[in-house]
Amino acid sequence: MKSVKIKNHDMMWDIAADIRFPPNFDEKLRYPVVVSVHPFGSCKEQTSGNVYGEALAREGFVVIAFDASFQGESGGTPRFIESPTQRVQDISHVIDYAVTLPYVDADRIGVIGVCGGGGYALSATLTEKRIKAVVGITPVNIGRLFREGFSNYDPIGALEAMAAQRTAEARGGDLQVNELLPASPEVAKQNGLTERDVFEATDYYKTPRGQKQGGATQMLFSHAQNTLGWDAFGFAETLMTQPMMVVIGQKVGAFGAYRDGMEIYGRSTAAKDRQLVELSDWSHYDIYDMTEPVGLALEKMLPFLKGHLSLRNT
């Protein structure tokens, strides 16, 4: 693995990324590349890199897992901004970097994403036609989630509160950085926060199972207005022309990955190849890192990506 800083010429900061190489890598050959996009509140060292990134690299792909702007080891201030527009642009910036690498075949670029990263990967594919295949792994349309559960189904009230907080910060007040999860599974139980996705997210992000320094699970409240007005799947019926796959678990939780996965699959009628993978006994966070559901997901993803990215080195 190689860690790099990707120059972002549109902004004044770099994107931090890890490049994973296949076995017997030869820089004189050209390989298909997969860009791996981390979830909301996550980082490149978690499921996007250490689970799916490593698995795809073992199978012959060059994989680039990166930290979103304002998050992890990437630049950008203030910290902890979750900007869907920027998250999608980050994918194009990483592709800009990938196509300059002599061992990357610019005609064989795929993107995968997990959770919110799955929504961003699918959204990027609508307009970024250098992407030749995309997989949304338990994908979440973060705009829909913010308009609903994350705003207590009061998006206008949330926007008004964000506006007031942004004004206070512009006048010198302290930044409001919201912690998105309970401090531990025990704290979640004590406070009755046992809904499947909330509790399992806590078990992943707040225990040694998945906890990493860059996975902050925090959000700058005052800069989230655009998230509520964003839709990962806008114009999918027309613009989703590339091969796409969605992997979802049938154990449904409040964050809505099952619903969102079914929606984007149903709407992507122009895709050259669209595939829906339902894992009957597994939930959203099981598919992050649990051996059996990850294996089941990879059983479908690997033939899909190898077929559409022509896994052969030249």
pTM given for the model: 0.97
179 inside domain: no
Q: What is the DSSP string of 215-269?
A: ---EEEGGG-HHHHT--TTTTHHHH--S-EEEEEEEE--TT-HHHHHHHHHHH-T
Structural domain including 287 reads: 2-151+228-308
pLDDT for residue 154: 98
Please enumerate in sequence order all residues whose Cβ is within 8 A of that of 143, keeping only pairs 6 or more positions apart, or say none.
84, 227, 228, 229, 230, 231, 232
174 inside domain: no
Residue 301 has pLDDT above 90, yes or no: yes
201 inside domain: no
200 inside domain: no
pLDDT for residue 7: 85
% pLDDT > 90, the chain = 97
291 inside domain: yes
275 pLDDT tier (thresholds 50, 70, 90): very high
171 inside domain: no
pLDDT for residue 11: 77
Residue 34 has pLDDT above 80, yes or no: yes
pLDDT for residue 313: 54
CATH number of the domain that residue 6 is part of: 3.40.50.1820
Q: How many domains does the chain have?
A: 1
210 pLDDT tier (thresholds 50, 70, 90): very high
pLDDT for residue 41: 94
217 inside domain: no
112 inside domain: yes
- The mean pLDDT value for 38-65 works out to 98
Which tokens hold the place of 200?
Answer: 């399992």
35 φ, ψ to 5°? -90, 125
12 pLDDT tier (thresholds 50, 70, 90): confident
pLDDT for residue 43: 98
Residue 230 has pLDDT above 90, yes or no: yes
